[in-house]
Amino acid sequence: MKQRKWTAEEKFAIVIEGLKGQKTVSEICRDHALSQTVYYKWRDAFLEGGKMPWQGEARLAIKLLLLKISEIAKDHQKTGHTDRDIKKTEELSTTR
């Protein structure tokens, strides 16, 4: 059986439906042909961070930002500059 690819919006709507409490989780899962295990994984992910865990673009953006921060930190260590040096440079550039 081919697995269904759910969008972030679909997952969000199904989880919200369950959180409203108007139907049981069993009913919701039956209506959407979804296992309860999958529903509870989605719910837990939602409660931890909203729709973000399902949005690949957001995860990619975070990974890219972390990579850039890591590169800046490495460059910072190579130059031997301290945070105090950087702060002095920033102060000088804003006073001109």
Contact 4, 47 (CB under 8 A): no
Where exactly are the structural domains of the chain? 1-54, 64-96
Please report, as a single letter, which amino acid is at residue 39. Answer: Y
CATH fold group of domain 1-54 = Arc Repressor Mutant, subunit A (1.10.10)
* Residues 35-93: tens digit of each pLDDT: 999 999 999 988 877 666 566 667 777 778 888 888 877 777 777 766 665 566 556 65
Look up the pTM and report it: 0.51
State residue 69's pLDDT score: 82
Closest to 54 measured CA to CA, from 7, 13, 18, 3:
7
**Long-range CB pairs of 33-42, under 8 A, 24+ apart, other chains included:** 33/4, 39/14, 39/15, 42/11, 42/14, 42/15
